[in-house]
Amino acid sequence: MQAQKYVMMNLDKKITLGDVASYLHMNPSYFSRLYKKDTNENFIDFVNRTKMERAKDLIESTNKSIEDIAYMIGFENKSYFLKIFKKYFGVVPNHYKGHPLSEGLGTVRRLVAFKNVYCQYLKIHFTFVFVNKIFENTVHHNA
């Protein structure tokens, strides 16, 4: 797809939906809907995911500072870069670089997914326990 090619060729720049729509001679809103329909992914999510994969590669293979890497992939704001990186990998870049889990994204994603599932389990478990206590108190109170 031409939009993805544009992203790959311009990873070092800030990429907006409007930039790519203009490049493709399309209305931004129409391009956004068409991209989502064709790929099942929001365009900006694709841009961020692609940039984060590049950032991960740079962290693993260079001694560049996190700030330099953020700038190299088109982020003008380091704190926004940190936020997006943590969203994708579960840790901030400084922790990722020396982290034993930096061997692969799959491991990090599995651990983040496990944490999320476990948290959901705990919420359900404690809700069940709480509802049981209320039920027991109601039954004993009405008896």
* 80 in the same domain as 110: no
Band (99; pLDDT cuts 50, 70, 90)? very low
Distance CA 20, CA 29 (A): 11
Asked if residue 109 lies in contact with residue 119, where contact means CB atoms within 8 angstroms, the answer is no
* 87 residue type, one letter: K
Q: What is the mean pLDDT of residues 10-28?
A: 96
* 119 in the same domain as 84: no
Q: Which residues contact 30 (CB under 8 A, 6 or more apart)?
A: 21
Band (63; pLDDT cuts 50, 70, 90)? confident
Q: Give the global pTM.
A: 0.66
Indicate the average pLDDT of the chain. 80
Asked if residue 92 lies in contact with residue 107, where contact means CB atoms within 8 angstroms, the answer is no
pLDDT (0 to 100) of residue 131? 47
pLDDT (0 to 100) of residue 112? 59
85 or 101, higher pLDDT? 85
pLDDT (0 to 100) of residue 95? 79
* 45 in the same domain as 92: yes
* 118 in the same domain as 96: no
Asked if residue 7 lies in contact with residue 46, where contact means CB atoms within 8 angstroms, the answer is yes
Q: What is the mean pLDDT of residues 36-45?
A: 94
* 118 in the same domain as 74: no
What would the 3-class secondary structure string for 71-111 be? HHCCCCCHHHHHHHHHHHHCCCHHHHHHCHHHHCHHHHHHH
Let me know the angle formed at the C-alpha of 47 by 41 and 48, rounded to the nearest 5 degrees: 100
> Structural domain tally of the chain?
2
pLDDT (0 to 100) of residue 96? 76
pLDDT at 45 over 90: yes
pLDDT at 48 over 60: yes
Q: Which structural domain, as residue segments, surrounds residue 143? A: 104-143
* 74 in the same domain as 61: yes
* 35 in the same domain as 95: yes
Longest CA span, the chain: 74
Q: pLDDT tens across 108-133, in order?
A: 555 655 565 555 655 554 555 454 55
| Tokens found for residue 71 | 């700038």
